[in-house]
Every structure is written in C-alpha cells, then in structure tokens.
Amino acid sequence: MKKFIYLMSNFVSIFKTLGFIFFTTLVVLSFNVKAAEIKFICYQDSNECDTIAEMAKSWESSTGNKVNIETVGYEVIREQLENQLESDAAPDVARVTNLGGLNKFYLDLKPYVDSSYWETNYGATLPWYRKPSGDDGIYGWQTQLTVTGPYVNVTMFEDAGVDMPEEGASWDDWADALRKVKSELDLTAGLALDRTAHRWAGPAFSYGAKFHKDGVPILVDEGFRKFSEVFVGWHKEGLMPVEGWPAGSGTAYKNAAPLFLDGTVAMHMSGSWMLGNYDKNITDFQWKVVPIPCGPGGCGAMPGGSGVVAFKSTKHPDAAASFINFLSQTENAENFAAKTSNITAHQGLQKSGIDYKGVSPVVAEGLAIFAANAGKAADSTPQAYWFQGYNKNFAIYGIVPDYITKAITGEMSLDDALNAIDADVAAKIAE
C-alpha cells in the first residue's frame, strides 16, 4: 500500500509538471501566428520546376506564405506519390501526369478560384482531371499541352543522302526512308519509340485503331491489329532496336531518348516535352520535329501534359489553391510556356500566341509543328482525346508493351498477344 501511494505520488507530480508546461506553452504560442508553408513535389523534363520556383518567389512575397519545392525524378511521381497520398504522407501540391487516375485525392479548387476564368481559359483540359461523369470540379492547372510526335536526326538523313518525307506522309513512307538511312550509315536501328502505349497509340490511331466504343475500352480492332503486325515486323527486320521495347519486361516504362541522343537511331517517337531537353543536350548533330505521319485512320497523335494539383489532405487548402491559381494566371502561364518551351494549355494564349523569346529556331519550329499535330489529331483521331481523359489509361499504358514485347521476342504469337491484351485490359479495368 505504501509503495502504491509512493508510486501514485510520483505520477501525480509528473502530471502536474507536464500540465503546467503544456498550458503555459499554449498561452505563449497562441500569439504566434505563422504563415502557411506548403510542400510542392515537382518533376521536370527540362526546367519546369526551376521556372516554377522562380515564379513562386513573387507569390511568396505577395502572400507571405512559403512554398517548398522538392524536385524529384518522374519515377517518384509515377510510382510513389499515390502510396504517399493513401498513407497521409502526401505533399500539399504536386505536378502529376495521371490526371484522371488520382482524382479521388484532389482538392476541389472551385471554392477558392474564379470559376469563369478557369472554364474560359482551361475548359478543354479541366475534364481530364474529373470523374467520368457528374463532376464539374476544378482540380488542377494544366502546366502544358503536350503532343506526341517524332524527332529526326537531320544530319543522318543528309549524310545518307535520303530525302525526308513531306507533311502528310504515312508511317510506311517514313519506314522506307529510315531503312535507307540505316542501311547507308550502318546504324543499329532506324526508329525508336518510348515503351508505353501512350506513344504507341498515335501510330495505332493512324492505322485505324479506335481504342474505345461508347466510352468502354475496346483495344484490339482491325486498326490495332494492323499496326501491331507492322510494329512487330519493324523489330524483326531490325528497323527498331532491341534496346527499346524488347529490353523491357512486363509493364516497365523505358524512355528511348538515350538512343536518339547517342545516335543509335535516326528517329525518336516521343513528344513535345522533350523539346527543351534536346535543345539543351544535343550539340553534335542537327535535329528537328517533323509533322506526325498519317495512315488510313488519320494523323494520330496523343495529347496530354502534366498538371499542378493540390490534395484534399493538405492542411493549407487556401494557400495551396492560391498558389495554383497564381500559376494559372495569364501572365504566369505565358511566362512558364516561354521559359520552358512548352505549348500552353491556356486557350486565350493559344489564340493570341506565345512569344518564345530566346528559343532556338528549331524549338520554335518544333512548337508550331506540335501544335499543328494536336489540331490534326483533334480533327482526324478524336479517340486520342478520349484516351487521354480515360481515368484508367495508366493500366493500359503498361499492358500493351507487356504483350507486344512477348510477340516481338517470339515468346507468344501475335494472335495470342492480342487476345491477351484484350483479356488483361478487361480484367484490369473491371470493378
């Protein structure tokens, strides 16, 4: 009993001490009002995060809030962010590419921004962030409108004495030209394509692939099959390198840019986000963007781009929304597009034009061609815009390379691979 009383008196004295300290601190600190500090996870293809960091200084000085920008690799956004969001370890703001897939985590900016301004200037891209139906929220600022399309090594074509096909040429015309360049210069391969259905889709649309019927993904139609046969054939004849699609296993994404940069291939099917990177890093050969090749289905290109979004879990929704709203303003969107050599998603600026001060002629020409590619795709292959907005497109991006690679390496026949694609897509999107 005595021991019990002794023990209790110890606990009482501890609690008294702690209680005194706690309440004193509360009183003192209640007068300490701190400005909001938001965490922004950003990835960049070239200098996008650096540009936003510069722009953020102006927002910080006008609001008194602070934004901590953490620049990370794209793999962090692609592979880790969603887990962070589910485990409450999320940042306040992030630059993301899986626009529809992360919808359930987004903070609706509508209560904090001028909705009419956003609908007028970003109305075409706002649906990419929303749920499939019944959602009119405003969730993110589209940092750029990207379009897929090919880059070519002009020096290689000149050295080989091969003329480049003109605008409106088909993928077959380009394949013929690339075969000649490969043969003349004894190259490893002629054409490389990033290992994802996002890049594959453009040529597939050109061959007539529709990718959906009434909003339901239906992948393997006649156009899809036809392009699959062509694509596998390009690999078997050596026009496409083994370091590309065959070098990946499963659903792994592989960027083919290193193959273009080191001169392994004469053409890289990529997108407008690589303009700044190539302008900075290619110093030993001439390169240019060419109009998207066409086919019986049209001139297919995939639109897209990344967006800056805020998350519901943020403890500073006002500050996060204010920051994104700041970035979306006309002058800031124009500044961002000009400094990063990207096509703006701001519809007002698309009409009035961006003065890409100081960009090289090849980048300026590239931007114009990519913008034209987007227009051609909207007219001739509108299924591209559906696919971009489909909230489970990220699952499909990996399934197509998984089985097409197996058909290329001979692990399964093309027929089996195409049947597997349909079956796997159906299973992966089933609820």
User: Contacts with another protein: how many residues (CB under 8 A)?
Assistant: 54
CA distance 29 to 24: 9
Show contacts with another protein in window 106-145 (CB under 8 A): none
Residues 6+ apart with CB under 8 A from 271: 146, 147, 148, 149, 199, 302, 304, 370
Taking CB under 8 A as the rule, does residue 91 contact another protein? Answer: no
Please name the residues in contact with 329: beta carbons below 8 A apart, sequence gap of 6 or more.
none
Distance CA(267)–CA(281), nearest Å, equals: 16
Burial degree of 13 (CB within 10 A; 0-12, 13-18, 19+): exposed
Contacts of 4 (CB under 8 A, 6+ apart): none
Question: What gap in Å lies between CA 177 and CA 72, rounded to an integer?
Answer: 39
**Of 381, 423, 281, 313, residue with least CA distance to 92:** 313
User: What secondary structure letter does DSSP report for 124?
Assistant: T
The angle subtended at Cα 292 by Cα 192 and Cα 422, nearest 5°, is 65
Residue from 1, 33, 214, 216 touching another protein (CB under 8 A): that is 33
Q: Return the range that interacts with another protein (CB under 8 A); candidates 75-83, 118-126, 276-284, 341-349.
A: 75-83
Stretch that binds another protein, among 9-17, 167-175, 211-219, 322-330 (CB under 8 A): 9-17
The answer to whether 87 contacts another protein (rule: CB under 8 A) is: yes
Could you tell me the smallest distance in angstroms from the CB atom of residue 365 to another protein?
32
Q: Which of 424, 377, 418 is nearest to 398 (CA)?
A: 424
Smaller CB distance to another protein: residue 368 or 423?
A: 423
Surface-to-core class of residue 157, CB atoms within 10 Å of its CB (0-12 exposed, 13-18 middle, 19+ buried): buried
Which residues ranging from 146 to 165 are in contact with another protein (CB under 8 A)?
none
Stretch that binds another protein, among 16-24, 198-206, 221-229, 265-273 (CB under 8 A): 16-24
Q: Tell me how far CA of residue 253 lies from CA of 194, 316, 414, in angstroms.
A: 8, 34, 21
103 scored as a contact of another protein (CB under 8 A): no
Residue span binding another protein (CB under 8 A) among the ranges 6-14, 132-140, 300-308, 337-345: 6-14
Q: Residue 177 or residue 400: which is nearer to another protein going by CB?
A: 400
From candidates 1, 2, 5, 30, binder to another protein by CB under 8 A: 30
Tell me which residues in 181-200 interact with another protein (CB under 8 A): 188
Give whichever of 83 and 183 is closer to another protein, judged by the CB atom. Answer: 83
Q: Which stretch binds another protein (CB under 8 A): 176-184, 283-291, 340-348, 388-396?
A: 388-396
Per rule CB under 8 A, is residue 79 in the interface with another protein? Answer: yes
Within 8 A by CB and 6+ apart from 210, the residues are 218, 221, 223, 383
Residues 396-415 that bind another protein (CB under 8 A): 397-398, 409-411
| Cα–Cα nearest to 196, from 255, 247, 264 | 255
Told to check if 8 binds another protein by CB under 8 A, we report no
Per-residue contact track with another protein, 278 to 317, x per CB under 8 A? -------------------------------------x--
CB of 411 to another protein, least distance (A): 7
What track of x and - describes contact with another protein for positions 238 through 277 (by CB under 8 A)? ----xx--xxxxxxxx------------------------
| Binding region for another protein (CB under 8 A) out of 76-84, 118-126, 299-307, 347-355 | 76-84
- What distance lies between CA 197 and its chain's CA centroid? 13
Q: How far is the CB of 77 from another protein (least distance, A)?
A: 8
Between 29 and 368, whose beta carbon lies closer to another protein? 29
Q: Is 65 in the site for another protein (CB under 8 A)?
A: no
Residue 80 backbone dihedrals phi, psi, to 5 degrees: -110, -25
The full DSSP string for 53-92 is HHHHHHHHHHHS-EEEEEEE-HHIIIIIHHHHHHTT---S
Q: Compute the least distance from the CB of residue 429 to another protein, in Å.
A: 8
Q: Applying CB under 8 A, which residues contact another protein? A: 7, 10, 13-14, 17-18, 21, 25-26, 29-30, 32-34, 75, 78-79, 82-83, 86-87, 98, 101, 188, 242-243, 246-253, 315, 392, 394-395, 397-398, 409-411, 419-420, 422-424, 426-431
